[in-house]
C-alpha cells in the first residue's frame, strides 16, 4: 500500500509559536515540551510502520518540523547558558600594585597609543615585544578571561587536555608498547624489565589572529571597559577558528584535527591511526539494528577510556539519532537532565560540534572517545596585541594574536563511526 493511500495518523497538537525565551530555565522548559510532542509523534510514526500502513506523510512532515524546533530551541538554550556562564571581566576584585600598574599602562596604549609605560613594565618583566610584528602582552586577567571564554565556546577545548607552555613546541615522549610492570613481595628480587622503547610526539604552536576595529569615539569613552571589549571581540573569533582546526585541521599552520589522522578499521588498528567501525551502509545506518554500530564504537574503547567516553557529532546528526529506540522500545537519546547539561546517548554524554561532518557516503560523522586522554591542546603563554591606527582610517585596528597547537596524544582513546560499507 502506498503512502498516499494510508490513513492519516491522529494529530497531536504541535508546540505553539512563542516568544524567544530570555532565560535558561524558560528555554529548557520549552525544549522539554517540544521533546514530549516529538516522542508522541515519532511513536505514532513507528506504530504506523509496524501496522504495515507506512508512515503518514502528514506525520512525517510534523515530525520534521518538531525536530527543527528542538534544534532551534536547544541552540537558544545553549546560547543563554553560555552568556550566563561567562564571568564579567570588569569585576572589582582587588588587584596587586603591579597588576593595577599594568592595567593602567595597557589602557593608555589601547586608548591613546602611549607605549612608554607599557614598554617599561614589560622590559622590567623581561617580556618585551618579540618578532617582527611587535605588540604587547595583554594583562594576565584579560588573557585568562579569554581562555575561560574560549573553553566555554569551543567543544574540543572543553573536552581535551589543555597544556600551557612557554616554548614554541611541546614534545611529549611516550612508549608505544607500554611500560613493563609486575608484582613482587617486599624482600623478593626484582626481575629485570625490558628497556622501554620511547618515541616522541611533537605539538607545535601556530599563530591564531583576530583584528577587531574600534572608533576613536569608543576608545575615548571612559565608561567603556576596554579590556572586556577586547575579550568579547576576540574570544568567539578565536574559538570558532580553533574548534574547526581541532576536528579537521591539516596541521599546516594550524593544529592537526583528529579527523586528519589516518583512519583504519578498528580490527586492524595500530598506534598512529584512529580506529573506526563502519555502519555497513553508505551514507546511513543499517536498516536492521541501526544502533549496533554505536555499541561497537563504545566497546571498541578500552574500559578505562570507555567510562570517560563522550559522543561527538553535529546538531543534524544528533537530530537523526533522536528517533531510534532499543529492542525494548526505550529511546536511546535522552534530553538534558537539567539546563546547562548535555543530552545523553546510551547513557553517555553528547557534545555538539558543528564542525563535525554531516552523514554522507564514507563520512566520519560521529566520534566516541575519552577526549581528555586522547587529544591535547597546547597554549603558548600570552596573548599579544598591536595597535594600528593607520591601515583603516578612521578606525583603529587591534591585531591580536595567540599561539595554539593541538593533536592526538593517545590513539587508543578516540574511535570513529564511518558511514560506509566497510
The answer on 284 and 166 residing in a single domain is: yes
User: In this structure, is residue 144 part of a structural domain?
Assistant: yes
User: In this structure, is residue 257 part of a structural domain?
Assistant: yes
The answer on 255 and 156 residing in a single domain is: yes
Q: Lowest-pLDDT range, 3-7, 129-133, 167-171, 329-333?
A: 3-7
Q: How many domains does the chain have?
A: 2
Give the pLDDT confidence score for residue 11 in this predicted structure.
45
The secondary structure element, H or E, covering residue 95 is: none
The answer on 236 and 298 residing in a single domain is: yes
The answer on 400 and 258 residing in a single domain is: yes
The answer on 29 and 145 residing in a single domain is: no
The answer on 360 and 256 residing in a single domain is: yes
Q: Lowest-pLDDT range, 76-90, 203-217, 277-291?
A: 76-90
Give the residue carrying C-alpha cell 498516499: 4
User: In this structure, is residue 113 part of a structural domain?
Assistant: no
Could you tell me the residue range of the domain that residue 164 belongs to? 138-177+197-314+353-422
Work out the burial of residue 56: count CB atoms within 10 Å of its CB; fewer than 13 is exposed, 13-18 middle, 19 or more buried: buried
Q: What is the mean pLDDT of residues 85-95?
A: 52
Q: What is the pLDDT of residues 129-154, one digit of tens each?
A: 444 456 898 988 888 888 888 988 89
d(CA 295, CA 298): 5
The answer on 389 and 268 residing in a single domain is: yes
The answer on 172 and 71 residing in a single domain is: no
Residues 55, 58, 64: CA angle, nearest 5 degrees:
85
User: In this structure, is residue 348 part of a structural domain?
Assistant: no
Give the pLDDT confidence score for residue 17 in this predicted structure.
47
What is the value of pTM for the model shown?
0.80
Q: Are 198 and 173 in contact (CB under 8 A)?
A: yes
Are β-strands 169-174 and 199-204 bridged in parallel, bridged antiparallel, or unpaired? Answer: antiparallel
Q: What is the pLDDT of residues 352-396, one digit of tens each?
A: 999 999 999 999 999 999 999 999 999 999 999 999 999 999 999
Give the pLDDT confidence score for residue 20 in this predicted structure.
56
CATH of residue 201's domain is: 3.30.2400.10
Q: Give the domain-ending residue among 85, 100, 120.
A: 85
Q: Are 249 and 159 in contact (CB under 8 A)?
A: no
The answer on 251 and 166 residing in a single domain is: yes
The answer on 358 and 213 residing in a single domain is: yes
The answer on 147 and 41 residing in a single domain is: no
Strands (E), 273-395: 274-278, 310-313, 333-334, 343-345, 348-352, 366-369, 375-380, 384-388
Residues 255, 257, 260: CA angle, nearest 5 degrees:
120
User: In this structure, is residue 380 part of a structural domain?
Assistant: yes
User: In this structure, is residue 230 part of a structural domain?
Assistant: yes
User: In this structure, is residue 237 part of a structural domain?
Assistant: yes
Give the residue carrying C-alpha cell 577558528: 241
Q: What is the pLDDT of residues 18-42, one digit of tens each?
A: 555 666 677 767 777 777 777 777 7
Provide the grid cell at 280. Answer: 555497513
User: In this structure, is residue 183 part of a structural domain?
Assistant: no
pLDDT bin (cut points 50, 70, 90) of residue 67 is confident
The answer on 155 and 24 residing in a single domain is: no
Amino acid at each position: 500500500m502506498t503512502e498516499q493511500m494510508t490513513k492519516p495518523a491522529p494529530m497531536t497538537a504541535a508546540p505553539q509559536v512563542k516568544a524567544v525565551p530570555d532565560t535558561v530555565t524558560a528555554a529548557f522548559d520549552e525544549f522539554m515540551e517540544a521533546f514530549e510532542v516529538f516522542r508522541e509523534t515519532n511513536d505514532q510514526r513507528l506504530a504506523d510502520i509496524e501496522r504495515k500502513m507506512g508512515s503518514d506523510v502528514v506525520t512525517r512532515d510534523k515530525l520534521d518540523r518538531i525536530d527543527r524546533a528542538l534544534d532551534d530551541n536547544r541552540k537558544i538554550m545553549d546560547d543563554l547558558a553560555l552568556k550566563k556562564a561567562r564571568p564579567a571581566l570588569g569585576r572589582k576584585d582587588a588587584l596587586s600594585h603591579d597588576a593595577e600598574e599594568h592595567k593602567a599602562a595597557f589602557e593608555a596604549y589601547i586608548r591613546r597609543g602611549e607605549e612608554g609605560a607599557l614598554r617599561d613594565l614589560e622590559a622590567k618583566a623581561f617580556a618585551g615585544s618579540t618578532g617582527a610584528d611587535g605588540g604587547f602582552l595583554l594583562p594576565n586577567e584579560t588573557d585568562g578571561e579569554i581562555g575561560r571564554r574560549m573553553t566555554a565556546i569551543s567543544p574540543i577545548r572543553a573536552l581535551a587536555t589543555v597544556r600551557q607552555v612557554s616554548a614554541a613546541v611541546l614534545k611529549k615522549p611516550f612508549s608505544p608498547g607500554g611500560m613493563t610492570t609486575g608484582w613482587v613481595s617486599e624482600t623478593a628480587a626484582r626481575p629485570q624489565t625490558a628497556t622501554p622503547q620511547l618515541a616522541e610526539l611533537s605539538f607545535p604552536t601556530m599563530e591564531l589572529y583576530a583584528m577587531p576595529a574600534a572608533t576613536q569615539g569608543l576608545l575615548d569613552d571612559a565608561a567603556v571597559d576596554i579590556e572586556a571589549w577586547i575579550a568579547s571581540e576576540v574570544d568567539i573569533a578565536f574559538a570558532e577558528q580553533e574548534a574547526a582546526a581541532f576536528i579537521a585541521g591539516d596541521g599546516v599552520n594550524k593544529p592537526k584535527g583528529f579527523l586528519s589522522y589516518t583512519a583504519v578499521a578498528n580490527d586492524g588498528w595500530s598506534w598512529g591511526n584512529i580506529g573506526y567501525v563502519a555502519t555497513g551502509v553508505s551514507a546511513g545506518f543499517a536498516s536492521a539494528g541501526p544502533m549496533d554500530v554505536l555499541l561497537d564504537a563504545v566497546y571498541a574503547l578500552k574500559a578505562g577510556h570507555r567510562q570517560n567516553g563522550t559522543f561527538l557529532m553535529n546538531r543534524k546528526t544528533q537530530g537523526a539519532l533522536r528517533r531510534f529506540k532499543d529492542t525494548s522500545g526505550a529511546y536511546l537519546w535522552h534530553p538534558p537532565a537539567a539546563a546547562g547539561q548535555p543530552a545523553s546517548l546510551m547513557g553517555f554524554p553528547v557534545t555538539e560540534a558543528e564542525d563535525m561532518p554531516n552523514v554522507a557516503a564514507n563520512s566520519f560523522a560521529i566520534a566516541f572517545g575519552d577526549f581528555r586522554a586522547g587529544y591535547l591542546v597546547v597554549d603558548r603563554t600570552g596573548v599579544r596585541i598591536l595597535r594600528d591606527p593607520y591601515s583603516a582610517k578612521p578606525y583603529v585596528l587591534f591585531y591580536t594574536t595567540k599561539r595554539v597547537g593541538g593533536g592526538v596524544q593517545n590513539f587508543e582513546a578516540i574511535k570513529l563511526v564511518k558511514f560506509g560499507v566497510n
